[in-house]
């Protein structure tokens, strides 16, 4: 009996020790740029990602990277994690797996980037869109891919890919722009060439087959309408496209944003009836200065607000060595937002880091300032200093 009680006591001590250790290991704040362990102690592998909130749980979807430069290809698929507090994430596995079928568009070795998931209240389906490049074609395909699931963690079923808005002009195009003719020998980056791009030279080129779609995000408005926002026209112009009621196709109702402005990595949020957009320039894996824009309607017109970053010259010109991917509303306070970005490590893709920062406001403009360590409870304080 004594031995039995001793075993019970020892077991209780072990349980308390393990419990305390586990408790101490819980994340209680955001530490931008540092390794971010999941429930298994492994760095979260969800790059270029986005977050869906569903029934009180957050689901983080992102590119599953592997080691080395080859890890920038889709060798595994789209990874999913879940969380109740945004600090601590449970590995839910691969939500969309690449195919082993060489005839599949999402065969292993293709490019799957910036996956985003939204929930459709009408169909009760979880809808994923992502930037897709076909295997061995580099970045020539510039397509957007669709997958659906009955559960937020998947498995998602791949449906199709396409170049959006075939045979359709942007709603903000004039009659003159639709009828323009463009010289075939324009020198790239000349004034004449930039003017031609701004007036739809690439839209004319891709009119029949559909427009290019690379870096992208999704946004569901207050009225339930969903929009697909993507870098198009050789990454020179952003397109904002309305999705159908099922979120599984395009209505061909779309607008161009900052034609020839060279924007990618779009991230969007809505605050007090206004739409705000944060993007990056186009410098490959190398970070650059972010840009910000505002509009009264999601299809525009959009007004440029400048670089949202505040800090040293180096921080401002590299967006704290990161690139935007998504903007999430603070779960503790509506009207406050979290900027999500990636610090890419192209030589060893799996080592990419995450930069999460609160979005502050100065004179009506979204701003970003570096914080080594912060949590949701002090956004109120930080934000109040900048209103």
Residue 309 lies in a domain: yes
Give pLDDT, residue 335.
Answer: 83
User: Backbone dihedral region of 8: left (phi > 0), alpha (psi from -120 to 50 degrees) or beta?
Assistant: alpha
Sheet holding 337-343, edge to edge: 309-310, 365-369, 353-362, 337-343, 323-329
The domain tally of the chain equals: 1
Q: Tell me if 127 sits within 8 A of 148, measured CB to CB.
A: yes
What HEC string does the chain produce? CHHHHHHHHHHHHHHHHHHHHHHHHCCCCECCCCCCECCCCCECCCEEEEEEEECCEEEEEEECCCCCHHHHCECCEEEEEEECCCCCCEEEEEEEECECCCCCCCECCEEEEEEEEEEECCCCEEEEEEEEECCCCCCCCCEEEEEEECCCCCCCEEEEEECCCCCCCCCCCCHHHHCCCCCCCCCCCCHHHHHHHHCCHHHHHCCCCCCCCCCEEEEECCCCCEEEEEEECCCCEEEEEEECCCCCCEEEEEEEECCCCCCEEEEEEEECCEEEEEEECCCCCCCCCCEEEEECCCCCCEEEEECCEECCHHHHHHCCCCEEEEEEECCCCCCCEEEEEEECCHHHHHHCEEEEEEEEEECCEEEEECCCCECHHHHHHHHHCCC
* Contact of 26 with 38, CB cutoff 8 Å: no
In the numeric block, which tokens belong to residue 190? 């000349």
Burial class (CB in 10 A: 0-12, 13-18, 19+), 289: middle
**So what's the pLDDT on residue 334?**
76
- Indicate whether 352 belongs to any domain: yes
Does residue 145 lie within any of the structural domains? Answer: no
Given a contact cutoff of 8 angstroms between Cβ atoms, the answer to whether 273 and 253 are in contact is no
pLDDT at 333: 76
* 338 occurs within a structural domain: yes
* Residue numbers of the domain that contains 303: 263-387
List Cα–Cα distances, 52 to 62, 151, 341, in angstroms: 11, 12, 16
Residue 314 placed within a domain: yes
The length of the chain is 387
Q: 270: domain CATH number? A: 2.115.10.20
Q: Whole-prediction pTM value?
A: 0.91
- Residue 379: its pLDDT value, please? 66
Asked if residue 304 belongs to a domain, the reply is: yes
Please report whether residue 270 resides in a domain.
yes
Residue 341: both structure tokens together: 């970005």
Question: What does each of the 387 residues of the chain score in pLDDT, given as a tens digit?
Answer: 333 333 333 333 333 333 333 444 899 999 999 999 999 999 999 999 999 999 999 999 999 999 999 999 999 999 999 999 999 999 999 999 999 999 999 999 999 999 999 999 999 999 999 999 999 999 999 999 999 999 999 999 999 999 999 999 999 999 999 999 999 899 999 999 999 999 999 999 999 999 999 999 999 999 999 999 999 999 999 999 999 999 999 999 999 999 999 999 999 999 999 999 999 999 999 999 999 999 999 999 999 999 999 999 999 999 999 999 999 998 777 789 999 999 999 999 999 999 999 999 999 999 999 999 999 986 654 544 444
pLDDT at position 231 is 98
DSSP-assigned beta bridge partners for residue 304: 293
Q: Is residue 353 part of a domain?
A: yes
d(CA 372, CA 124): 39
């Amino acid at each position: 009996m004594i031995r039995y009680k001793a075993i019970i006591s020892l077991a209780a001590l072990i349980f308390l020790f393990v419990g305390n250790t586990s408790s101490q290991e819980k994340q209680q704040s955001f530490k931008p740029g540092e390794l971010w362990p999941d429930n298994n102690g492994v760095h979260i592998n969800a790059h270029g990602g986005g977050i869906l909130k569903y029934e009180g749980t957050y689901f983080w979807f992102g590119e599953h990277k592997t080691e080395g430069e080859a890890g920038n290809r889709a060798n595994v698929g789209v990874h999913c994690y879940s969380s109740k507090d945004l600090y601590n994430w449970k590995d839910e596995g691969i939500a969309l797996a690449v195919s082993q079928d060489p005839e599949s568009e999402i065969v292993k070795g293709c490019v799957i980037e910036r996956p985003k998931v939204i929930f459709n209240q009408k169909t009760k389906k979880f809808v994923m869109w992502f930037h897709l490049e076909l295997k061995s074609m580099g970045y020539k395909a510039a397509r957007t891919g669709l997958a659906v699931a009955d559960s937020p963690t998947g498995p998602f079923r791949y449906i199709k890919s396409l170049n959006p808005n075939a045979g359709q002009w942007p709603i903000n195009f004039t009659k003159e722009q639709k009828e323009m003719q463009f010289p075939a020998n324009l020198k790239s980056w000349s004034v004449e060439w930039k003017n031609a791009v701004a007036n739809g030279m690439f839209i004319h080129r891709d009119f029949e087959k559909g427009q290019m779609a690379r870096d992208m995000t999704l946004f569901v408005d207050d009225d339930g309408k969903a929009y697909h926002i993507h870098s198009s026209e050789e990454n020179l112009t952003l397109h904002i496209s309305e999705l159908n009621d099922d979120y599984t196709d395009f209505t061909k109702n779309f607008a161009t944003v900052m034609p020839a402005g060279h924007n990618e990595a779009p991230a969007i949020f809505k605050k007090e009836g206004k739409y705000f957009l944060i993007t990056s320039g186009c410098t490959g894996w190398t970070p650059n200065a972010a840009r910000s824009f505002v509009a009264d309607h999601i299809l525009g017109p959009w007004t440029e607000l400048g670089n949202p970053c505040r800090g040293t010259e180096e921080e401002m010109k590299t967006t704290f060595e990161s690139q935007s991917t998504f903007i999430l509303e603070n779960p503790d306070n509506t009207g406050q937002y979290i900027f999500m970005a990636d610090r890419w490590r192209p030589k060893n893709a799996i080592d990419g880091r995450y930069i999460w920062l609160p979005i502050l406001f100065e004179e009506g403009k979204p701003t970003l300032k570096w914080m080594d360590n912060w949590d949701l409870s002090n956004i109120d304080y930080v934000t109040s200093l900048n209103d």
